[in-house]
């Protein structure tokens, strides 16, 4: 595909790097000489020096013939204007980074009005990632589908787990009907389990369901002794803002430490219930006083990578169960080879992942626009896809047990009116549903592809 990237900062650079590896034809536009020279020297992409929102530059970049424009410059206004101008020139899809808190409420309006295919807010994406790790501390990987209506977690079956030796058909009787084992990785193979599949200790399972149900299941399964109930967040910036917004109603008690009064004031005005501490959280005495040693989790999200690393190391040394460190610079992460920090979050890499995932799905579904999202599981050997169903789908209103679904695929859940349904044989697919499937077949682009010829 022909892709134009506006902005060659951290995110722009890493998107350009990932996408050029996937053999896309990329043009990077930035107005900073140094940035653009670095890109031209190190990546196999075309570079243009100038304002990415200007008509002339976009014309020179042949936006009219491009498939996608990704605007990730510093200013939201530049990004939106770039998308708007490119759209007028004839680009097929646009993605804009919109990060300003003031625009949150109008984000969806902007998206529709400007015809954007996607907006990305890196800080919010980071907050999502952190909150998911906090909510499922036992799971090694968490993905969410359909705007968080369904989540999937990856867990490993321990030697004494009640899951070991269990047949999938008995799984529902013993646990719950509302979660589904949708993929299993054993040794070097991956399986889409059918009813007669028997689980073994050491298997890695991918489980899908609504957040509450999954949490319930994880508790029953004893895979975590106690969830995370108290979190100390260092730094009251934009990321913390979104994190508070997500966690405030989950029953997890939060404490945000920041030394800047205006930061605290901003948080307090939006979240009156949030616990705020006005102090320099990089001091051990402050952290101790606020009860770091008894907290379940510590999130270091100040603007300074160094502060985040040092305080996280301190928290880990005190035995805090889950320590999450936000680090902006990739080169700093590369130097942290030998450290006790296990949950490191890099904002640019998260934003890049989201966008690259989107581009992959665009690539996969070049002619069919039905794929809504695509995720890779078990190192890319299993794909989980989300489809929007419209009235042209040929198998509407047929009970699933009457459909012949191919052996390498599974309908994992149906999202209907905001609720996640784990489908049984009597459920039907209706127009307007979102259907999530997992498959070990690569390159499925339509839901029909997993249906075998009907008799």
Which residue ranges make up the site for other proteins (CB under 8 A)?
2, 20-21, 23, 25-27, 33, 40-46
Q: Which is nearer to other proteins, 21 or 220 (CB)?
A: 21
Strands 150-156 and 141-145: antiparallel
Take residue 292 and report the two structure tokens written for it: 């770091």
Q: Which is nearer to other proteins, 45 or 429 (CB)?
A: 45
CB of 17 to other proteins, least distance (A): 8
Of 62, 65, 7, 63, the C-alpha closest to 39 is 7
User: Residue 439 — φ and ψ, nearest 5°?
Assistant: -150, 150
Q: Which is nearer to other proteins, 29 or 415 (CB)?
A: 29
CB of 24 to other proteins, least distance (A): 8
Which is it for the CA torsion 93, 373, 364, 71, positive or negative?
positive
How many CA atoms lie within 13 Å of 402's alpha carbon, on the beta-carbon side? 10
The residues, ordered by sequence, that sit 6+ positions from 196 with a Cβ below 8 Å of its Cβ are 167, 168, 169
Q: Which is nearer to other proteins, 33 or 426 (CB)?
A: 33
CB of 27 to other proteins, least distance (A): 6
Per-residue DSSP letters for 434-452?
EEEEEESSTT--SGGGGBP
Q: Which is nearer to other proteins, 13 or 145 (CB)?
A: 13
338: DSSP letter: S
Give the 3-state secondary structure of residue 102. Answer: helix
Cα separation, 208 vs 422, in Å, equals 9
Give the 3-state secondary structure of residue 34. Answer: helix
Q: Which is nearer to other proteins, 18 or 408 (CB)?
A: 18
Per-residue DSSP letters for 184-231?
EEETTEEE---TT-B--TT-EEEEEE-HHHHHHHHHHTTSSSS---EE
Separation in Å, CA 335 to CA 311, 326, 330, 338, 339? 17, 15, 9, 8, 10
CA 101 to chain centre: 19
C-beta separation of 374 from 437 below 8 A: no
Q: Which is nearer to other proteins, 48 or 116 (CB)?
A: 48
Q: Which is nearer to other proteins, 21 or 407 (CB)?
A: 21
C-beta separation of 94 from 69 below 8 A: yes
Q: Which is nearer to other proteins, 37 or 372 (CB)?
A: 37
Q: Which is nearer to other proteins, 59 or 212 (CB)?
A: 59
CB of 21 to other proteins, least distance (A): 7
Of 321, 267, 325, the C-alpha closest to 300 is 325
Separation in Å, CA 224 to CA 140, 156, 164, 408? 12, 12, 16, 31
């Amino acid at each position: 595909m022909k892709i134009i990237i506006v902005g060659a900062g951290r995110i722009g650079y890493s998107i350009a790097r990932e996408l050029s590896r996937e053999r896309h034809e990329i043009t990077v536009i930035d107005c900073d000489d140094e940035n653009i020279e670095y890109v031209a020297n190190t990546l196999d992409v075309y570079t243009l020096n100038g304002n990415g929102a200007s008509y002339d530059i976009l014309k020179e970049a042949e936006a009219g013939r491009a498939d996608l424009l990704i605007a990730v410059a510093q200013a939201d206004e530049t990004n939106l204007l770039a998308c708007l101008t490119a759209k007028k020139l004839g680009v097929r899809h646009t993605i804009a980074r919109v990060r300003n808190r003031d625009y949150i409420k109008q984000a969806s309006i902007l998206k529709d009005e400007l015809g954007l295919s996607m907006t990305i807010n890196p800080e919010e994406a980071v907050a999502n990632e952190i909150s998911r790790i906090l909510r499922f501390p036992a799971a090694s990987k968490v993905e969410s589908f359909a705007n968080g209506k369904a989540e999937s977690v990856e867990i490993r079956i321990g030697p004494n787990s009640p899951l070991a030796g269990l047949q999938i058909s008995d799984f529902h009787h013993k646990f719950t009907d509302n979660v589904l084992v949708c993929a299993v990785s054993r040794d070097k193979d991956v399986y889409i389990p059918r009813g007669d599949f028997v689980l073994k200790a050491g298997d890695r399972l991918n489980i899908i369901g609504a957040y509450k149900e999954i949490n319930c299941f994880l508790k029953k399964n004893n895979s975590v002794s106690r969830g995370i109930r108290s979190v100390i967040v260092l730094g009251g910036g934009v990321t913390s803002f979104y994190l508070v917004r997500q966690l405030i109603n989950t029953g997890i008690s939060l404490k945000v430490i920041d030394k800047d009064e205006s930061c605290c004031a901003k948080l307090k005005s939006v979240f009156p219930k949030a616990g705020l501490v006005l102090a320099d959280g990089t001091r051990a005495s402050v952290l101790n006083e606020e009860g770091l040693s008894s907290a379940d989790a510590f999130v270091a999200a100040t603007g300074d990578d160094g502060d985040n690393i040092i305080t996280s190391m301190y928290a880990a040394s005190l035995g805090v169960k889950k320590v999450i460190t936000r680090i902006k610079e990739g080169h700093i992460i590369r130097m942290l080879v030998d450290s006790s920090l296990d949950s490191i979050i890099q904002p640019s890499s998260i934003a890049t992942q989201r966008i690259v995932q989107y581009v992959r799905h665009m690539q996969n579904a070049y002619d069919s626009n039905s794929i809504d999202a695509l995720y890779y599981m078990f190192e890319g050997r299993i794909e989980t896809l989300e489809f929007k169903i419209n009235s042209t789908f040929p198998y509407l209103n047929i009970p699933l047990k009457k459909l012949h679904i191919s052996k390498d695929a599974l309908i994992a859940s149906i999202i209907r009116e905001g609720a996640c349904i784990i489908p049984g044989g009597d459920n039907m697919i209706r127009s307007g549903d979102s259907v999530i499937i997992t498959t070990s077949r690569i390159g499925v682009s339509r839901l029909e592809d997993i249906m075998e010829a009907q008799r």
